[in-house]
Amino acid sequence: MERRLYLRCKIEDNYWAKLTREEVEKVKIRDISIGGISLFTTQDLSLKEVIEVEIVADSKEKIIPKCEVAWSSYLRKVEENNHSYSIYEIGLKFLELTDRQKDFLKECIKNSTAVSLSGS
């Protein structure tokens, strides 16, 4: 049985994120909670790696918390326009959120339409 500290919510397309590493990549958010975020990316991140993720709402409000890679899972290889790349799903744990960042996440969760009962 999966045990989580926080309720996690599915996010609609009105929120998106950017991973800040050597290369900046706009990524799709799978779900989010006060404790962390799950994303789809083309970057193969190492466990325990610390990165920044910019989370942006349609309102243009954003936060840039530091995160630690909690898990990473290879999903599939994509062939597109004579170019191939891998897709990964990653789970990031938020590190030391400010009150403003927590408020942003609470608003994000409040505005989500699909709530997972298993928490995050």
Task: Answer whether residue 95 is part of any domain.
Answer: yes
Give 51's strand partners.
Answer: 67
Task: Answer whether residue 120 is part of any domain.
Answer: no
Task: Answer whether residue 117 is part of any domain.
Answer: no
Task: Answer whether residue 119 is part of any domain.
Answer: no
pLDDT tens-place string over residues 30-59 = 888 889 999 999 988 999 999 999 988 877
pLDDT tens-place string over residues 79-98 = 888 889 899 999 999 998 99
pTM to 2 decimal places? 0.79
The type of residue at 43 is Q
Task: Answer whether residue 89 is part of any domain.
Answer: yes
Task: Answer whether residue 29 is part of any domain.
Answer: yes
Helix (H) or strand (E) holding 63: strand 62-63
Task: Answer whether residue 84 is part of any domain.
Answer: yes
| 9, 36 Cβ separation under 8 angstroms | no
Domain count, the chain: 1
User: Exposure pattern of 33-57 as b/e (b: 16+ CB <10 Å)?
Assistant: bbbbbbbebebebeeeeebebbbbb
Task: Answer whether residue 77 is part of any domain.
Answer: yes
Q: Return d(Cα 24, Cα 79) in angstroms, integer.
A: 21
Host domain of residue 71: 9-111
Q: Return d(Cα 7, Cα 13) in angstroms, integer.
A: 19
CATH code of 39's domain: 2.40.10.220
Q: Return d(Cα 101, Cα 34) in angstroms, integer.
A: 9
